[in-house]
Amino acid sequence: MYKQKSHSEFTGFVRVQGAREHNLKNISLDIPRDALVVFTGISGSGKSSLAFGTIYAEAQRRYLESVSPYARRLFHQMTVPEVDNIEGLPPAVALQQQRGAVSTRSSVGSVTTLSNLLRMLYSRAGDYPDGAPIIYAEGFSPNTPEGACPQCHGLGRVYEVTEQSMVPDDSLTIRERAIAAWPTAWGGQNLREILMTLGYDVDIPWRDLPRKDRDWILFTEEQPTVPVYSGFTAEEMKRARKQKLEPSYMGTFTGARRYVLQTFANTQSALMKKRVMQYMISSACPLCNGKRLRKEALAVKFAGQDITELSRLPLAALHRLFAKYASSHKIDKKHPEKEIVTGALQKICWPAWM
Ligand SMILES: [Zn+2]
């Protein structure tokens, strides 16, 4: 796709003719290559239509013609721009202005299409262990079911709860809210009354409860439904049950770990999520070592590194690495696509890094 050399490539210009995207009124212009060029103008004058809607859209279109249909799906494809002709256009990377906060997880790779290119590179040109099947580009993304580490679901961290994290002060009784992780207000009272029905002592310090009881209250997956006598003391409750008095309601028990993890996973409320998170301990996922991908994907190497290691390289180092590959123009007869992919990568990445 990079074969034709036109007049403007020799003269160092990108020549745009008859651009009519959005509000552009059939404009033609020459833009110097290898230079910092700024478009200025009032809002709505067509700066973005020219830079992103026309020039970048056309660069992307030309590049995507050279890749397979499955790889094309990884890109947010722009529409074909309204323009008569563009000459001297190099492969391009577009960085759009970011609105709102960029998260701490963002890297240059994640705010550009670079990460998609790296996935293609590993899929097409990575070194696979003997006998390993080819993994498609999606398989190198922690945000797809094909790629995500099965233990941490692609988060890179696992969350667990412990007695200490859920019961920060073991001198308190259950009535005094020893189980800090439990819901406050009615939900907590409900769980406490269920424990009373089940015969647990909610008025002695947590640490004095037998180990077996503490473990059951915190970690059980059982969810028994029992009659609850609201506002009764333990003695009154025993009597009421013996006399088969009508209970206030039937209550279903949920262990503290189950409550915390389920709330964390399912709540729609950011506040609730934040509340239960303080009782969770997070650590790097032991299966992927925090790299977020399946081990099959991490086993594929390029330049001796897995895709996570390569993605963490500073851009200048990444650039040097690709330049080395792309400049050694040896065509591997068995894997002719290797040269194509690395060559394309180097070409497409250079303009953005220089
Ligand atoms: Zn993992």
Strand order of the β-sheet with 27-32 is 27-32, 13-19, 85-87
**Gap from CA of 319 to ligand 1 centroid (Å):** 28
- Residue 322's alpha-carbon distances to 136, 189, 302, in angstroms, are 21, 62, 10
CA atoms within 13 A on the CB side of 166: 23
Note down pLDDT in tens along the chain; length 354 residues.
Answer: 344 445 544 568 899 999 999 889 999 999 998 888 888 888 888 888 898 889 988 988 887 776 667 666 666 677 888 999 998 887 777 766 554 444 444 455 555 567 777 888 888 888 999 999 999 988 999 988 999 999 999 989 998 899 999 999 999 999 999 999 999 888 899 999 999 999 999 999 999 999 999 999 999 999 999 999 988 888 888 888 888 888 999 999 999 999 999 999 899 999 999 999 999 998 999 999 999 999 999 999 998 999 999 888 877 787 788 777 766 655 455 555 555 555 555 544 444 433
Compute the distance between CA of residue 111 and CA of residue 97 in angstroms, rounded to an integer.
10
- CATH for 338: 1.20.1580.10
Whether 80 and 113 map to the same domain: the answer is no
The tens digit of pLDDT for each residue in 205-216 reads 999 999 999 999
Contact between 183 and 221 under an 8 Å Cβ cutoff? The reply is no
**Gap from CA of 294 to ligand 1 centroid (Å):** 7
233: left (phi over 0), alpha (psi -120 to 50) or beta: beta
Classify residue 94: in a domain, yes or no: no
- Mark the residues whose beta carbon lies below 5 A from ion ligand 1: 149, 151-152, 285, 287-288
Task: Specify the number of domains making up the chain.
Answer: 3
- pTM value is 0.55
Of 283, 307, 339, the residue at which a domain comes to its end is 283
Range of the domain at 46: 7-87
**Gap from CA of 143 to ligand 1 centroid (Å):** 12
Q: Which two three-digit tokens encode residue 89?
A: 């256009």
- CATH for 81: 3.40.50.300
The 8 Å CB, 24+ separation contacts for 236-245 are 237/196, 237/197, 241/197
Whether 167 and 278 map to the same domain: the answer is yes
Place of tokens 């970690």: 219
Whether 148 and 182 map to the same domain: the answer is no
Classify residue 18: in a domain, yes or no: yes
The tens digit of pLDDT for each residue in 119-130 reads 888 888 889 999
- Residue 204's alpha-carbon distances to 201, 239, 246, in angstroms, are 6, 21, 28
Compute the distance between CA of residue 32 and CA of residue 53 in angstroms, rounded to an integer.
19
Of 283, 300, 320, the residue at which a domain comes to its end is 283
Contact between 127 and 300 under an 8 Å Cβ cutoff? The reply is yes
**Gap from CA of 297 to ligand 1 centroid (Å):** 12
Of 232, 248, 283, the residue at which a domain comes to its end is 283
Whether 35 and 78 map to the same domain: the answer is yes
Whether 338 and 279 map to the same domain: the answer is no
Q: Which two three-digit tokens encode residue 155?
A: 């988060």
